Amino acid sequence: MKRYMELFRIPNVWVLLLACFPARVAYGMVGLGIFFKVEQATGSISFAGLAIGLNAAAGSLTAGIRGSIMDKYGQTWPLRIMVPAYAAMAFALNAMHSKPLMLIFAFVMGLSAPPINLSVRPLWKIVVPPDFLRTAYAMDTAIMSAAGVVGPVIATSLALSSHPSLPLNICGGLMLLGGGALALTKVSRSWIPEKKSADYQPLWRHKPLQLLMIEGCFLGFGWGVFDVAVPAFTTIEKVPYMTAWIFTAMGLANILGGLLAGLVSKRTSSLRAMRRTYGVWFFASIPMVLTHPGWTMVIAAALLGLLGGAIMVFYWEVMEAIRPKGSPTAMMGWLWTVEGTLMSIGSAFGGVISEKLSPTIALSITTACIGIGYVILALGKARLIAADRIPTDEEDLAAMKDNAPTTT
């Protein structure tokens, strides 16, 4: 833990983590916030699911576009437009009672989603020294995972209180607080978009990105199935309360996994660390298929989350290593466009498979998708070779200067 204590002594680390945390909690709340609002207004679970699907699809399909805007114009004005727009859509949706209007506002809310996580990642390169970058990514991943655990708990608690309309209003307020704070930080305001290299080509023609997109198709689909298969399984087995235990254990282990990954020596390349962890992750997903909703599944989910949290840290590093110069936000945005869209499709299939066939079959699809993802990365490792080397100190410093603030 000494490494993390040293990290927090670096100026602006606390500022960056605390500024964006409320907005990250808002994203953890939004799905359930929409669900409870629409289900309460219409009495239809399926219609509430449709609203969530439209919101998620709109957000993922346009993530690459929003990322490209930031890479071209910087973070200041895009955040100052998207943050209040998103909050306004949340407040407006909460006031709606018409079915068509609720769907429209849920969709537009997704279109205006500020790329908070994508904005924070490139800022770490100008906040911490090169040898602390993996540690910073790990802490950022842990905070992101923590927000993903806290958000649903807050949304559910508020919805089950005497004021069930509160979740979306709180979501909008937290986005204003966190997104606004991030936009006002000195490090965000002074961030300079990278200049594109002379041989820059469209991202969709970039071969390393093509490989990660193909892998993301399977991973996104598999996790979409998983997110529905677990609650479906607990409901069928008449233990719906176990859903919270399973996802909470997975989320907490995800935080721990990210923190442990941050302690891995910098002398281990990001690609090598990711591939090794990915292989173990596949085998760790098998117990989920072999267990039933209960404490054994809680343990299996925790193991899955532990390794998943570690992979996220190495995955961010791989993306940073292989991306074209001038695309720190757009690269991640377009990957999420692919993965998030397939996740939405996977959620739809997960419900059908769990109901018509078996939740166990649905969970086995997740395991298969992780396995396919690993094979894709193994076969295409030559395309990711840039992430399989250790940058020199001089290269790290040169990369940092590309994003350095213009003010002191």
Q: What is the pLDDT of residues 108-131, one digit of tens each?
A: 999 999 989 888 888 888 888 888
Which pLDDT band, with edges at 50, 70 and 90, does 343 fall under?
confident
**Model confidence at 144, in pLDDT bands (50, 70, 90)?**
confident
Give the CA distances from residue 206 to residues 42, 139, 209, 325, 340, in Å, rounded to whole numbers and listed in that order. Answer: 45, 29, 5, 12, 20
Q: The domain 1-193 is classified under which CATH number: 1.20.1250.20, 3.40.50.620, 3.30.70.660, 3.40.50.720?
A: 1.20.1250.20
pLDDT of residue 303: 94
Burial 352-388 (b: 16+ CB within 10 A, else e): ebbeeeebbebbbbbbbbbbbbbebbeebeebbebbb
pLDDT at 402: 44
- Residue 151 has a pLDDT of 86
Q: What is the mean pLDDT of residues 130-152?
A: 85
Specify the pLDDT at position 135: 86
The pLDDT value recorded for residue 182 is 92
Residues of the chain with CATH 1.20.1250.20: 1-193, 198-408
How far is it, in rounded angstroms, from Cα 113 to Cα 86?
6
Q: What is the pLDDT of residue 404?
A: 43
Q: Is the confidence at residue 62, as pLDDT, over 50?
A: yes
Mean pLDDT for the stretch of residues 341-364? 85
**pLDDT greater than 70 at residue 403:** no
Residue 227 belongs to what H/E stretch? helix 207-236
Predicted pLDDT of residue 391: 55
What number is the average pLDDT over the span 256-282? 84
pLDDT of residue 360: 92
Mean pLDDT score across all residues of the chain: 84
Name which CATH class applies to 198-408: mainly alpha
Specify the higher pLDDT residue, 190 or 372. 372
**Residues near 278 by Cβ (< 8 Å), separated by ≥ 6?**
311, 370, 373, 374, 377
Has residue 199 got a pLDDT over 70?
A: no
